[in-house]
Amino acid sequence: MTLGEKIRHLRGVEGSLRELGRPMTQTEVIRAMRRELRKNISQAYLSQIESGARPHMTHATRDLLARFFKVHPGFLVDDAEGFQTSLASDLRVQDAKVDSWLYSAAENSANDPALSRALKNVADYDDSRKCLLLLGEIVKMPGLVDHLSEVLGTDTRGAKASNSGQGSTELGGA
């Protein structure tokens, strides 16, 4: 994301926070800066920053904009080539790989319907990686697996126990 894109985004956020229902204009930003911080830059300077005509700004301008938009001054620079602002895309790819592995394991476990169904339930869950990480923590706690199995009324094969009073309903997935 470029510095200009960040400033435009921040004007949008600020407009929302001020309940304008739209991004603040450059002129509104300059007036608000003058009123609230008793300092300002020119609208032309802000326009040059946003358009990329002025790719760098002074330290004082960066600090002023950071104070106005309430962000860290380090945010107000162009992101490095290939920089991603979130890890979500990497985690989605990783979760898709986990899901693929789980579905494959479910198919390979066709001779154990309860296990196959459990693997499919985890794969169908929105965040299967999170499920597996939680399971990893559960098995580390002495007695917790047995306790949960008893509380949930599952037998050792993962099928719902018939004497639980809840019928033969399976434990659901997502």
Model pLDDT for residues 108-152, shown as the tens digit of each residue: 888 999 888 988 888 888 888 888 889 999 999 998 989 888 888
Say if residue 106 is in the same domain as residue 153.
Answer: yes
Say if residue 64 is in the same domain as residue 7.
Answer: yes
The range of the structural domain enclosing residue 9 comes to: 3-75
Q: Which of 75, 99, 131 is the last residue of a domain?
A: 75
Q: What is the pTM of this model?
A: 0.48
Say if residue 143 is in the same domain as residue 119.
Answer: yes
Count up the domains in the chain and report the number.
Answer: 2
Say if residue 35 is in the same domain as residue 103.
Answer: no
Residue 69, domain CATH: 1.10.260.40
Of 13, 53, 46, give the one whose Cα is nearest residue 27: 46
